[in-house]
């Protein structure tokens, strides 16, 4: 359990850079995600072909992983849309509501018993969002995009829990991101036309940031999170990702001085989210100690 939590938090730390990279890249949100997935899928295929071959799975499992991958792609588009309509800090804080949405959705999807503690901790994170939304209306559109991103991220993590029961983490990573790329490719022309956007090639600096985004913040972070998900609950993964705003916000403050744009309500909301994360981590640690004692007695 402790090793899984360490892998999880390393993935969260890497994910904390995605917001900053999203702002550094000059492309619109849909193209950022499309190029990110393009580089990532090519990289994964290369890594799989080196030792032997790409793993084969049934058509039913392939379609299931492709559908989950589509959720990943749409989540990223909504996330970067949140950054474009507000800023990095707001987008990352909105992302923290995945804990609340997973606490509501996980029992329905996985047919588990609802945990009142998880619901309360998720609501604490929601209260943090409300403080920002209610008292600082400048970023309402960005907050809505951010909440859509959080719902999709919650569904993605929950469905991954079931996918990992049948496939290895590396296989799941490959086919989900491949599916996300293919589905986004099909929908991209309609998206660009609807928002009156053009398909453009990245600049030299954009390519550099896209490589970092794809290799470190996607391939490595995605794989570490999936490995951790084999041992911990989807709710724990989602709530742990509430630390992502902390890392990303600190970077946004240092690089873009976003602290000058934010009001006091933002910091109140952020504090509530930090409390929710800390309480869940304490809870998980105590549960792991209790489980070890039970195994020792047996």
Please name the residue that has the structure tokens 């193209």: 31
- The distance in angstroms from the start CA to the end CA of the chain is 19
| DSSP H stretches of helix in 25-139 | 29-49, 59-85, 88-95, 98-110, 116-135
Please name the residue that has the structure tokens 């609802």: 114
**Residue 86 near residue 143 (C-beta atoms within 8 A):** yes
pLDDT tens-digit readout, 239-284? 676 677 778 888 898 888 888 878 788 888 888 877 887 787 677 6
Q: Please choose, from the candidates 94, 96, 99, 106, the residue with its C-alpha nearest in 3D space to the C-alpha of residue 141.
A: 94
pLDDT tens-digit readout, 119-168? 788 788 788 888 877 766 788 889 899 999 999 999 998 888 778 777 88
**Residue 204 near residue 27 (C-beta atoms within 8 A):** no
pTM, whole model, 2 decimals? 0.84
**Res 65: pLDDT:** 95
pLDDT tens-digit readout, 69-90? 999 999 999 999 999 889 998 8
**Res 206: pLDDT:** 96
Q: Please choose, from the candidates 141, 42, 50, 158, the residue with its C-alpha nearest in 3D space to the C-alpha of residue 98.
A: 158
């Amino acid at each position: 359990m402790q090793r899984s939590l360490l892998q999880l938090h390393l993935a969260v730390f890497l994910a904390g850079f995605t917001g900053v990279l999203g702002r550094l890249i000059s492309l619109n949100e849909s193209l950022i995600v499309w190029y990110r997935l393009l580089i990532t899928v090519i990289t994964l295929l290369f890594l799989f072909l080196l030792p032997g071959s790409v793993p084969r799975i049934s058509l039913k499992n392939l379609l299931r992983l492709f559908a989950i991958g589509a959720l990943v792609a749409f989540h990223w588009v909504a996330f970067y849309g949140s950054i474009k309509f507000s800023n990095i800090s707001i987008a990352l804080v909105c992302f923290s509501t995945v804990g609340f949405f997973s606490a509501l959705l996980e029992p329905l999807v996985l047919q588990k018993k609802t945990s009142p503690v998880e619901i309360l901790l998720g609501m604490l994170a929601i209260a943090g969002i409300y403080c920002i939304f209610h008292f600082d209306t400048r970023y309402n559109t960005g907050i809505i995009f951010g909440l859509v991103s959080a719902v999709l991220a919650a569904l993605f993590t929950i469905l991954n829990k079931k996918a990992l029961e049948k496939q290895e983490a590396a296989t799941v990573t490959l086919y989900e991101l491949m599916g996300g790329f293919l589905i986004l490719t099909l929908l991209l022309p309609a998206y660009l036309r609807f928002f009156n956007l053009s398909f453009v090639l990245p600049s030299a600096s954009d390519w550099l940031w896209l490589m970092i985004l794809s290799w470190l913040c996607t391939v490595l972070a995605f794989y570490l999170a999936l490995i951790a998900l084999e041992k911990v609950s989807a709710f724990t993964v989602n709530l742990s990702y509430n630390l992502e705003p902390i890392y990303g916000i600190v970077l946004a403050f240092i690089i873009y001085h976003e602290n000058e744009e934010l009001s006091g309500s933002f910091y109140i909301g952020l504090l509530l989210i930090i409390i929710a994360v800390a309480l869940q981590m304490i809870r998980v640690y105590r549960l792991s100690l209790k489980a070890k004692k039970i195994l020792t007695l047996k």
